[in-house]
Structures are given as C-alpha cells and as structure tokens.
Amino acid sequence: MPVARCHFADGKIFEVEADPGESFLEASLRAGAPVRYQCRSGSCLSCACSSDSNGLKMRPGVASSLLKTEIAAGRRLCCIGQLQSDDELHFAYRSDSAGPAEVSAFVDAIEWMAPDVVKLRVELADGEWIDFQPGQYVRVTPPGAETARSYSMCSTPETLPTLEFMIRVLDKGVMSDYLRSSAQRDDVLTLSGPFGGFTWKGDRREPHLFIAGGTGLSPIASIIEQIRATSGRKPPMFLSFGCATRDNLFAGDYLKLLAQWLPTLDVRIAVERGAEDGLLAGNPLTAITEAQISSDVRAYICGPPAMIAAAVEKLSAAGVPANQIHYEQFIASQQSEA
Amino acid sequence: MADQKPTRRRQGSQARANTAQVQSEYQPYIDATWGFINHWYPALFSDELPEDKVEGIQIAGIQLALRRVNGKVLAIKDQCLHRGVRLSANPMCFNKETISCWYHGFTYNLETGNLDTIVGNPDDPLINNTALTTYPTQEVAGIIFVFVRDDEFPDEDVPPLSEDLPIRFPESSERFPHPLWPAAPSLLDDDAVALGIHRTGEANWRIACENGFDNAHILIHKDNTIVQVNNWVLPLGIRPASDDCISPIEDKDGPKGLMQWLFTDRWEPILENQKLGLKVNGINSRMYRTSVVLPGVLMVENWPEEHIAQYEWYVPITDDTYEYWEVLVRRCPAEEDRKSFEYRFDTVFQPLALRGFNDCDLHAREAMQDFYADGSGWHNEQLVDSDVSAITWRKQASRHHRGIAKVPAGVQGREKASSIRLRNITEGKSPGYFVDKIDDLNNHNRASVRSRKR
C-alpha cells in the first residue's frame, strides 16, 4: 500500500498507509493523524491539504468545493482523496490544534420567544472566528461555568460574526439557570465547534421535508435561511413545526414571514394542546400526509427522540430510502439541551 | 440635563400604513439596495452595439462587457480576473471568439468565459483553469436584454425573458379586461416596434420604480405641457375605493408583480379639497392603466396615445444611480405604420412625454433620494392608504425576487469619493452607466502638467 507523510505546521510528521480504493481521511484517522474534518463529503474544506507529488488524487467524478485551479496547484481534500502512490502532504495547522476551534463570544441580545424559549444572539470576539455549515451546532459554556451545552445555530454563516440560537430553557441546567437568572448583554461565553453532520445536502431539485419539534426548529431555520440565500431555483419545501402547547409556541410570526418570502415553502404549525387560530392539533407528524412523502423527498428532522423515531418510521414505511432521511436528536443534559 | 424628563425616541405614527409588521413583510425589498439579481434587464438599444463593437455598462453592481459577434450579442463580466481591469475600457479582440484584457493580455472566451490564453504567457497553468462569468442575452424589438446573474447561478435555471416582462394581451384580456382601449402591445409581439430613450437618474432604483405607479403623484403632472396642450383635467388624487383595487400577478412560469384597476370603480378620483378650496370640474384625462412586474418593469397601457404602451425600467447601476429606460411600443404591421410611429415619436412623444412629462418624475425622484439614501427613510416614511400600490409591490418583490444583489466589491461607484470619480466630476462627467473609455492611449489629459524648467 502507498504511504503518505503528513506534515503539520508544528513540524510533526505522521505516516499514513492507505488502500488506493479507500477515503484517505478514514485511513489517516485510523493511523491517528490529527486531520481536521467535518462534512466527509467534499464540501466543507476542513480536511484540505497540499500535495507535493500528486500521489493523493481526488476521487474521479466526485464534486468538491475546491476550484480546478486549486487542484491544479496541488490542493487536495482528504475525505474524497485516494492515495494512489507515495506522497508528502502539508497541513496548514499544528498537529496539536486540530479539531474544532474554541472561541469567545459576547452576548448581544436575549429575547424571550416563549415562556421557555430564548433567542440568544452573540457576536464572536474580535480576532476570533468559527466557520460552520447551516444545521451544525456549537458547545456553549456560560461565564464561570465548567460544563458546556450544545446548541444549533438558527442563523447562517452569512451573518457571521453574529450567531443566533433558539434555546429551550429548562427548569434546571447550567445554561438554563444562566439564561433565566444572570444572563446579560456583554457577558462572555465560550463557544467550541462546529460539530455535527446534520447539514443541508444542497440538492435543489429534490422536494424538501422539514420536521421540527420545539427548538429543533433552530438548525432547520438555519438550513431554510441558507436555501433562501442561495442563488438559483428553490426546491419545493414543506415545514411541519410543532410545540407542546399554544402557550409555549414560538416563532410563529417568523415562520409566517419565511413562507411569505419563499413561494415554494409551505408551513404547518401544530400544538398538542390548545390548538386554535389555524393551528393543527397534534404533533408535527400530523400534518405529514402522502402528499408530502414522495420517494425522492429529502427529509430533515430535528426534535425530541420520540418524535424523530416516529418520523423516521413513518417515512421509511412510506418508502423513503434511509439515505434521504437526516435527523438530529435533541436530548436534554449531557450532550444536548434544547 | 438632570431635570429634563426623558422622552421616547420619535416613532412613526401607529396610524401610518407602513406599521412595523407591514415593514417586516417587505424586509427583503428594503435589503435590495443594489437591486435584485438573477433577472433580465435591458442593457442597450440594438443600434448602440454594431458588429464587433464592445461596450461596458454596470447593472446591480456588476460590470458587464457586451460585444456583438456575427450578429449575436455576448456578455461577459467586465473585470479581468488578473488585476480587475475593465476589458471594455480599451477593447482588444484578436478574433471573433475572444476578448483580451488590454493590460496583460488575459484572453477570455466570450461564450464560456474560459481563460483561453494569455497573450504573452501562453503556457501558464492558470490557462483553462479559471473563467469569468458570462451572461445570457436576448434581443427583442431592438432592445438587448441581459440576464444579470450571480456567479453561481446555473445556466439551466435561467428563465425565459417573458418571465421578466409585463403580462401580454390579448391573452390576459379576460383576466384584466378594459373596455376603454384595445389590447396593449407587447415587446414580444411579432410586429412590435419599440422606440425610446435611456439615461442615468440619480436616485436609488426603488425610489424611481415606485414613482412610476404611484397613483397619488398625479399632482405633480397637472402643469405638464402634454396635459395642458390636450386640455386634460386631472383629479387632485386617486384613492383606493375597494380592497381589490390591486390584483397580484403571480402565475407559475410567468411574470410576478401587480396590476392596478385604474379607471374602474375600485379607485376613486378626488375632485375636491374643501379645506384648501380646491375643486376640479369635468375630469377629462387619458384613460391609462399601470402594472409593474419584477425586476421593476412598468407598463402604462393606452399611453400616451391609443394603441401604444409605455414601458419603463429603473435598472440599478449603483445604490444611488439607475438607468432609466422609457420605451414606447406599438404594433406596426406595415412599413407606413412604422414610419408614422417614428415621426410621431420624434415630434411629439419624445419631447412631450418621455422628456417633458417624465422629466417631472426625475425631479420628484431626486427630491426623495436624500431621505432614503442612508436607509433610514424606509423606516421613517409615513405612508397612507393611497400607498397601497407601493406596499403591495414591495411585498410581491420580497416574495418573488430571484436574489438580492450583494454590496459589490471592487467596482465603479462603490467608493463614493475615489480620486478618479472626483476628477471625472470636476471634468464635468457625472458617474453613470457606461464605462469610461480610453480614447487615446498616447494622451492622458491632465489639467496641470509640470515640466522641469531649463
């Protein structure tokens, strides 16, 4: 098998042996080389490196976000790269700094969208930066706290250095306590990330089905905003959003605006208790009928685990292939709280 | 300071038609300072671009070079990838397929935008590895249209020109009937003849566009020559009399905008203002009807005469200049029809309508510009019920536009006080639509050249 020597900015070299048929990223992770990565599909550029002798080749026929000119200049993506012969590869970061960034961010605004939902807006500190794809999340540590909580952005990369989150405020929890009691403008939070593979897959021909429960709306709003900002034809989109009760329903006006601005977006809102004023009674799956489920539909689902399980089951039973169903679980406590 | 009672910031009255809620519904329109992109815009009259000529213009912050090759108009981004030089400033074409940058010879294929070669560096690896964006074009009735798009906008998504032109008659006669005049002519009619002018206006394109179909602005036109010479008597204003006074136009695969039901009982002419002691007797004016579709195309049916429609575009150049297109369209099946239309255009329509009458509109748009120039006017304006036309248009535009032009980088007019711009102004050349062409490479005219005295 060919071998690549991976050079990092701190001078460390990792030797990676790879099968010419496999993804070079997988081989380097197996060999313990601290290659940064994110999308694993040739789009995010996290795993970019420079090749000296063209042993690492891009898998033929796979689209990547590298320009032809960059490829000609020796730039490669590990995730869709295949090692055909020995090579020297150069990574622009230190071997001990790989992975997501950790940055500081100032609180700009805290807006209560419902009795238990906050929209948090932060601005990255001067000189610090995080890139992300719509749908991803970061881990947020409140001032003085030891532990972090995970939240998905509802804003898009276009508004960086400003990030926005829709956050569910629980009765207890490190972030919830902070938001309810002491949070104020200009507080400094620690953000690390981005994380997560729940991102827009980018095909504008397929009908899109979005199913969001509670603050599971946050990453889905980011994806829809990204589609709104993308040049060219918009896909047909159907968003079904649900909250437990009429009283903790949030973002209704915002979703109405989104539907106003996007002629190809249909929005349904359901509440389990207290349905009135055109709201559907039930959970977000209530509004999903055969009309929204075609075999070419691409589904993005985010919310509580039970809702996700039910949605996946419903879509699978209707014949939607598993690789067209994308979901992100929002679980309170350790990993996620939203 | 201490004993002063704090007062609230001045807010717009809650009685105004553009409440905060209404404003939020057309926020994308407020964001479209540099125009909407991924739309068809008129670029030049056909006779402005003879075979092999290259012309440079700017639309929605994008610099475009147009060249006619074997009769066909090709459009390419007018900004060399190498150092940003405008290709059209001193056009250099060695063959029919390409245009070369006159500075270092980067040579682009006009059809694909591909960097085909570099005059003095034909083996450079950059060749065939980079490209300028090209823009689809179409020529109808003597007007060259360009599809001004984002660099990423895919070819297969380019809609037909008809989706960015007003609705057509008689196919829409049933839906929008009007017994008072024959079917309005369209640029796309086989025998359509379009005569008109275009010129640069100093205002944001939206200010100009909204003026075109603002029913209450009839007040500014009462003293116009074309009105007086015809003994027309205009009402003081026109108010909406019914909530169906405007119909949205939003057919699938068709133009998007609105139609106003003028000269029907859905709009009420105002004949009297008692407080001012004003009264109008015996209304006698031309029956016209206005509609507007994206990206800001006005159609005035039955104006300025029977069988004619006036079309207008307010093509954004920068955030504070627009190219104002005024075009009269008439169907002329026979050569004599064309001749008499041309004669009447030269002797009556151009001086009295496109100039006299619409010059008055240019004054009004400029008068609004300062209020809106810094963006605050969109929130501070206090709209009234007769502004339903503008509000409906803003909402329709917010919903159906194909993209908001980004604030451009590195183009003419982005920096308001650049040294070249200031020099041009002192030399009497206002910032405008066309590229500043180099007419003599051996002569750079400067007012003060100093030479060493011996």
Distance between CA atoms of residues A53 and A88, nearest Å: 7
pLDDT band at B89 (very low <50, low <70, confident <90, very high): very high
Tell me: ipTM over 0.85: no
pLDDT band at B300 (very low <50, low <70, confident <90, very high): very high
Q: What is residue B10's predicted lDDT score, i.e. its pLDDT?
A: 59
Q: What is residue A242's predicted lDDT score, i.e. its pLDDT?
A: 95
Kindly determine whether residue A232 and residue B152, on different chains, have CB atoms separated by under 8 Å.
yes
Instruction: Convert the pLDDT of each residue in A230-287 to its tens digit.
Output: 888 899 999 999 999 999 899 999 999 999 999 999 999 999 988 888 888 888 998 8
B130 vs A69, A230, A232: nearest CB: A69
Which chain A residue has the Cα nearest residue B126? A69
Instruction: Convert the pLDDT of each residue in B145-203 to its tens digit.
Output: 999 999 989 999 999 999 999 999 999 999 999 888 899 999 999 999 999 999 999 99
Q: What average pLDDT is seen over chain A?
A: 89
* Strand residue runs (E) in B254-296: 256-260, 267-270, 272-273, 278-279, 289-293
Q: Which residues on adjacent β-strands are paired with residue B311?
A: B299, B327
Kindly determine whether residue B154 and residue A232, on different chains, have CB atoms separated by under 8 Å.
yes
Q: What is residue B257's predicted lDDT score, i.e. its pLDDT?
A: 98
The dihedral over CA atoms of B224, B227, B230, B235, expressed in degrees to the nearest 10, equals -150
Distance between CA atoms of residues A165 and A151, nearest Å: 7
Q: What is residue B453's predicted lDDT score, i.e. its pLDDT?
A: 85
* Exposed/middle/buried for residue B333 (C-beta within 10 Å: 0-12, 13-18, 19+): exposed
pLDDT band at B11 (very low <50, low <70, confident <90, very high): low
Kindly determine whether residue B395 and residue A260, on different chains, have CB atoms separated by under 8 Å.
yes
Please list every residue in chain A whose beta carbon sits closer than 8 Å to the beta carbon of residue B403.
231
Q: What is the mean pLDDT of residues A150-163?
A: 94
Please list every residue in chain B whose beta carbon sits closer than 8 Å to the beta carbon of residue A257.
24-25, 27
| pLDDT above 70: residue A160 | yes
Distance between CA atoms of residues B179 and B181, nearest Å: 6
A260 vs B149, B399, B403: nearest CB: B399
* Whether A289 contacts chain B with CB within 8 A: no
Q: What is the mean pLDDT of residues A135-153?
A: 93
Q: What is residue A338's predicted lDDT score, i.e. its pLDDT?
A: 38
Which chain B residue has the Cα nearest residue A205? B157
Kindly determine whether residue A232 and residue B38, on different chains, have CB atoms separated by under 8 Å.
yes
Which chain B residue has the Cα nearest residue A235? B157
Please list every residue in chain B whose beta carbon sits closer than 8 Å to the beta carbon of residue A251.
none
| pLDDT above 90: residue B357 | yes
Please list every residue in chain B whose beta carbon sits closer than 8 Å to the beta carbon of residue A233.
157
Please list every residue in chain A whose beta carbon sits closer than 8 Å to the beta carbon of residue B127.
none
Q: What is residue A99's predicted lDDT score, i.e. its pLDDT?
A: 57
* Exposed/middle/buried for residue A142 (C-beta within 10 Å: 0-12, 13-18, 19+): buried
Kindly determine whether residue B153 and residue A232, on different chains, have CB atoms separated by under 8 Å.
yes
Sign of the Cα pseudo-torsion (B4, B8, B12, B16, in order): negative
Q: What percent of chain B has pLDDT over 90?
A: 83
* Whether A67 contacts chain B with CB within 8 A: yes
pLDDT band at A337 (very low <50, low <70, confident <90, very high): very low
B399 vs A72, A230, A261: nearest CB: A261
Q: Which residues on adjacent β-strands are paired with residue B322?
A: B201, B316
Sign of the Cα pseudo-torsion (B419, B421, B425, B428, in order): positive
B25 vs A73, A231, A260: nearest CB: A260
| pLDDT above 80: residue B247 | yes
Q: What is the mean pLDDT of residues B261-276?
A: 94
Cα dist. B12→B16, B18, B401 in Å? Answer: 7, 9, 28
Query: A54: which DSSP letter?
Result: S
Q: What is residue A196's predicted lDDT score, i.e. its pLDDT?
A: 77
Please list every residue in chain B whose beta carbon sits closer than 8 Å to the beta carbon of residue A69.
126, 129-130
| pLDDT above 90: residue B28 | yes
For chain A, give me the number of helices (H) and strands (E)? 6, 19
Q: Which of A260, A265, A266 to mutate to test the interface with B (most CBs of B within 10 A)?
A: A260
Q: What is residue B24's predicted lDDT score, i.e. its pLDDT?
A: 87
Q: What percent of chain B has pLDDT over 70?
A: 97
| pLDDT above 70: residue A333 | no
* Whether A72 contacts chain B with CB within 8 A: yes
Instruction: Convert the pLDDT of each residue in A67-124 to its tens digit.
Output: 777 788 898 999 999 999 999 999 877 776 545 788 999 999 999 999 999 999 999 9
Q: What is residue A336's predicted lDDT score, i.e. its pLDDT?
A: 40
Instruction: Convert the pLDDT of each residue in B42-71 to its tens digit.
Output: 999 999 999 999 999 999 999 999 999 999
Distance between CA atoms of residues B454 and B441, nearest Å: 28
Is there a contact between B408 and B148 (Cβ–Cβ < 8 Å)?
Answer: no
Amino acid at B49: L
Q: What is the mean pLDDT of residues B297-301?
A: 98
Which A residues in the span 223-242 are in contact with B, Cβ-Cβ below 8 Å?
Answer: 230-233
Buried-exposed string B265-302: b where 16+ CB fall within 10 A, e elsewhere: ebbebeeeeeeeeeebeeeebbebbbbbbbbbbbbbbb
Q: What is the mean pLDDT of residues B218-231?
A: 92
Is there a contact between B180 and B170 (Cβ–Cβ < 8 Å)?
Answer: no
Kindly determine whether residue B157 and residue A232, on different chains, have CB atoms separated by under 8 Å.
yes
Please list every residue in chain B whose beta carbon sits closer than 8 Å to the beta carbon of residue A252.
none
Q: What is the mean pLDDT of residues A11-22?
A: 91
Is there a contact between A24 and A16 (Cβ–Cβ < 8 Å)?
Answer: yes
Closest chain B C-alpha to A157 CA, distance in angstroms: 15
Distance between CA atoms of residues B340 and B351, nearest Å: 16
Distance between CA atoms of residues B218 and B364, nearest Å: 12
Q: What is residue A193's predicted lDDT score, i.e. its pLDDT?
A: 86
Q: What is residue B9's predicted lDDT score, i.e. its pLDDT?
A: 60
pLDDT band at B8 (very low <50, low <70, confident <90, very high): low
